[in-house]
Amino acid sequence: MEKVPMTSDGLAALENEFRRLKFEERPAIIRAIAAAREHGDLSENAEYHAARERQSFVEGRITELEGVISCADVIDVAKITGDTIRFGATVMVADEDTDEEITYQIVGTYEADIEKGLLSVTSPLARALIGKTVGDSVDVTTPRGSKSYEVCDVTFK
């Protein structure tokens, strides 16, 4: 597997999720399966089937997280300087149609959360912004159509 770029905050969040799933969720599911087995006939036991389905999801997520964490390439954003947008940059852009200003941090795929302002480095907007500086304009094709943004500020924190 290739190296997976991410911030230290992103790695910490994935490690926390991994620990929660492995040491809290997994044992709770095992207990739920054992309790459901005590109710008798498993073929018609909805609790048993729900617990097994949850177990399957959790085990898959644990395996995925193990792989991602082992391939993590942590980039220390605090050590990056400059005015050119790249991975880890916190960027304020203005929608050229509405003048609405939005701030995003460009982060790895596994830590992206648009509602928290964490924009995946593989997203169309992030790909358009990489290499730009304050004052540059970018055109981005989104599912809602073409949008134009102006870069207002670039920082690394």
Same domain, 59 and 119: no
Among candidate residues 127, 129, 74, 79, the one with its CA nearest the CA of residue 103: 129
Question: In the prediction, which pLDDT does 21 show?
Answer: 97
114-122: Cβ within 8 A, 24+ apart: 118/10, 121/5, 121/87
- Encode pLDDT of 46-89 as tens digits: 888 899 999 999 999 999 999 999 999 999 998 898 899 999 99
Q: Which of 74, 102, 123 lies at the terminal end of a domain, its last residue?
A: 74
pLDDT of 99 above 70: yes
Beta 72-74 vs 137-142: how paired, if at all? unpaired
Number of domains in the chain: 2
**Residue scoring higher pLDDT (44 or 2):** 2
Q: What does the block give as tokens for 110?
A: 């596994």
Of 74, 94, 126, the residue that ends a domain is 74
69 close to 14: Cβ distance less than 8 angstroms: yes
Check residue 47 and give its pLDDT. 86
Q: Are the beta carbons of 121 and 108 closer than 8 angstroms?
A: yes
Residue 91 backbone class (left: φ over 0; alpha: ψ -120 to 50; beta: rest)? beta
Out of 39, 74, 109, pick the residue that ends a domain: 74
